[in-house]
Amino acid sequence: MIRPLLVALLAALLGATSAWATTTPQVGVGVFGGLSVPVLQNVDVSSFSPSDAFGPTGSQFGIRVPVKVIPVVTLEPFFAKSNYKDQEETFGGLTYKRQGYDGTAFGLNAILGRVGGSGVNFYPYVGLGTFKLSRDTDEINKMGWNFGLGLGFSPAPRWSIQFRPEFNMVVTGDTSRKFGNATIGVNYEIMPEGGSHEAK
Amino acid sequence: MKRNRWLLLSLAVGLVVAGCVLTSGQIRISFDLDDFSTTTDTGLAAQTIDLNTESEYKDNKDKLKDLSDLAVLGEITNNLGSPINVEIWMTPTITNYTTAAEVTNSGSGAVRVWGPFNLAGNATKKIGWDDSAKLFSAAGKKLLLDEAKGDGQFQLYAIAPAGAYDFGVAKGVLVLVLDVGI
């Protein structure tokens, strides 16, 4: 299942690189943090309500390094840590807790557009990475995908604020573990647009 | 602009191909177990499980891919002064063994799916979900998954194989979290 998606991502990147230009690289570094919510995991279907589709809200933080060396696409290696709360359920009148996962992820986002720069910009992106979800009783260590739409705006030269709602899917055979993420971060352009190392 | 369209199209194709992975989830089904008590003298505590009695299972059986989490929950009381190790054994068909020795006999077809759960003398303990999940054997998980994908009927036996025992289980529940396509 991963292979067709890899091919699609590669095709997208190749399409973007077909008009490879002598663009001066733009390099940034950003930190982010926010919320991460399990989606459609451990759902009680006997008394389902829409809110049951979402597990206990967790947190996520990490680092991203957006690098724009070609027109159209920015490549962005990322590393993220997440932590999910325990889930409480009642069976037979007794309340039980199920330990939440701790997550570690690293991978690469392909962003349509740019992350930094002046003004306000929107950018869709897709990412591929390796995701590890672990708790005392079990561990999932699989490839996964990110899909999101970022919003960035620059309050000062070289600096930008990034807001990203994101859908994350860790592929586990024929099914997947899904998470909805909403993060806010700060990005600093080490090498800004135009190749100048000075503030714009 | 044309290049951007190709880029989006490629990504859309990828998403469509990944559809079956995307449209999946983990659903939880719980089965209440009858309260019981068992002693070395009175023989085995057995329970027949028919997953088909749960409409949630029947509705999702054909979409079942894997077993992502499971637990045996409830309160166990040890009525003797000496500690015991409680185990749950399973046969993939409906059986009617009457002694622990019959169940644990290598030719019985029974597999230890859970345990040992250690309980001190004259103690009552609620089995925690995390603790319970750790006690499932790999062979037991596989057998449960096979049965969940199969006819959904099997037999569970609760025993404390070493020495004399006298224990009871109250508010017992078997919890299965199934990976299903939606």
Cα B49 from Cα B26, distance rounded (Å): 21
In order of their start, the domains of chain B are: 24-181 (2.60.120)
Helices B2-17 and A2-17: angle between axes, nearest 10 degrees: 180
Q: How far is A187 from chain B (nearest CA, A)?
A: 25
Question: Three-state SS for B150?
Answer: coil
The verdict on B42 touching A (C-beta cutoff 8 Å) is: no
How many domains are contained in chain A? 1
How do residues A30-69 score in pLDDT, each as one tens digit? 999 999 999 998 888 777 777 778 999 999 999 999 998 8
pLDDT of residue B54: 85
Cis peptide before A124 (omega within 30 of 0): no
Task: Give Rg (Cα) of chain A.
Answer: 19
Spatial neighbors of B139 by CB under 8 A, at least 6 apart, are B111, B112, B113
pLDDT of residue A179: 96
Q: How many residues in total does chain B contain?
A: 182
Taking only residues 70 to 129 of chain B, the set having a beta carbon closer than 8 angstroms to any beta carbon of chain A reads: 71, 73-75, 126, 128-129
Is A196 inside any structural domain?
no
DSSP A41-61: SSEEGGG--GGGGB---EEEE
Residue A150, pLDDT above cutoff 80: yes
A14-23, A85-94, B97-106: range with highest mean pLDDT:
A85-94
Is A47 inside any structural domain?
yes
Is A89 inside any structural domain?
yes
Residues pairing with A198 in the sheet:
none
Query: What ipTM, to 2 d.p.?
Result: 0.83
Question: Which two tokens mark B57?
Answer: 């299972």
Is A21 inside any structural domain?
no
Angle at the Cα of B157 from the Cα atoms of B152 and B160, rounded to 5 degrees: 150
> What number of helices (H) and strands (E) belong to chain A?
1, 12
Is A197 inside any structural domain?
no
Select from B29, B130, B181 the Cβ nearest to the Cβ of A174: B181
Residues pairing with A162 in the sheet:
A152, A185
How do residues A103-120 score in pLDDT, each as one tens digit? 999 999 999 998 887 889
Q: Per-residue pLDDT averaged across B83-110, rounded?
A: 91
Q: Which residues of B touch A74 (CB under 8 A)?
A: none
Residue B182, pLDDT above cutoff 80: no
Cα A78 from Cα A72, distance rounded (Å): 19
Is A20 inside any structural domain?
no
Q: Which residues of A touch B27 (CB under 8 A)?
A: 43-45
Cα A137 from Cα A109, distance rounded (Å): 31
Select from A4, A39, A172 the Cβ nearest to the Cβ of B179: A172
Residue span of the structural domain in which A94 resides: 2-13+26-191
Taking only residues 44 to 73 of chain B, the set having a beta carbon closer than 8 angstroms to any beta carbon of chain A reads: 54-56, 59-60, 65-66, 68-69, 71, 73
The verdict on A199 touching B (C-beta cutoff 8 Å) is: no
Q: How many residues in total does chain A contain?
A: 200
Spatial neighbors of B49 by CB under 8 A, at least 6 apart, are B31, B153, B154, B155, B156, B174
CB pairs under 8 A between A and B: 146
Question: Which two tokens mark A39?
Answer: 């989606």
Is A84 inside any structural domain?
yes
Q: What mean pLDDT, rounded, does chain A reach?
A: 86
Confidence of residue A193 (pLDDT cuts 50, 70, 90): confident
CATH number at residue A114: 2.40.160.20
Closest residue of chain A to B55, computed from CA coordinates: A46
Select from A1, A44, A98 the Cβ nearest to the Cβ of B18: A1
Q: Per-residue pLDDT averaged across B33-51, rounded?
A: 86
Query: Given an 8 Å threshold on Cβ–Cβ distance, is B179 in contact with A145?
Result: no
Q: Which residues of A touch B182 (CB under 8 A)?
A: 40
Q: Which residues of B touch A173 (CB under 8 A)?
A: 65-66, 179
Angle at the Cα of B124 from the Cα atoms of A135 and B112, rounded to 5 degrees: 55
Is A199 inside any structural domain?
no
pLDDT of residue A198: 43
Query: Given an 8 Å threshold on Cβ–Cβ distance, is B25 in contact with A126?
Result: no
